[in-house]
Amino acid sequence: MDHGERIRAYFASCNDDTREQIAAHFTDDAVIYDTNHAPVVGAAAIGSFWQRIRAQWQGAAWGVDSVVSDGETAAIEWHMRGEGADGPFVFRGSEHYAFDGDRISEIRQYWTFDRDATDTGLQGYPYPD
């Protein structure tokens, strides 16, 4: 599985799979760093983390918009769409990945979470629907 396929499979797992299936995309000692929360360390912890996030954002779905890969690294743009109390929302962000073989060993997530501005992304960018 190439890195782009692994990332897309990971995102699909975040939408529907068990914590064990999510964890299978990662090395045992993988780390997710994020601009909005403390690091999540270890494949098992990452699987459990995603179960909590999915429960928190019931009905939300995550998707990959673009992937650029070079050697043992990749970068993506992603979105999260859902329906909140105030109507539909979309969060957008960027992530940088490191791999060990075909499994993810690190993710650095860059995005902004603001409960008062639930449509986030690049200002003025013409995102496709």
Express each pLDDT in 75-90 by its tens digit.
999 999 888 777 888 8
pLDDT level of residue 91 (50, 70, 90 thresholds):
confident
| Class of residue 12 by CB neighbours under 10 A (exposed 0-12, middle 13-18, buried 19+) | middle
pLDDT tens, residue by residue, 55-67: 888 888 999 999 9
Q: Token pair of 64, please?
A: 């990959």
* Global pTM exceeds 0.85: yes
SS3 readout for 13-78? HHHHCCHHHHHCCEEEEEEEEECCCCCEECHHHHHHHHHHHHHHCCCCEEEEEEEEEECCEEEEEE
pLDDT > 90: percent of the chain: 61
Which domains are seen in the chain, by residue range? 3-111 (3.10.450.50)
Q: What is the pLDDT of residue 2?
A: 92
Q: Token pair of 111, please?
A: 């995005």
- How far is the C-alpha of 97 from the C-alpha of 95, rounded, in Å? 7
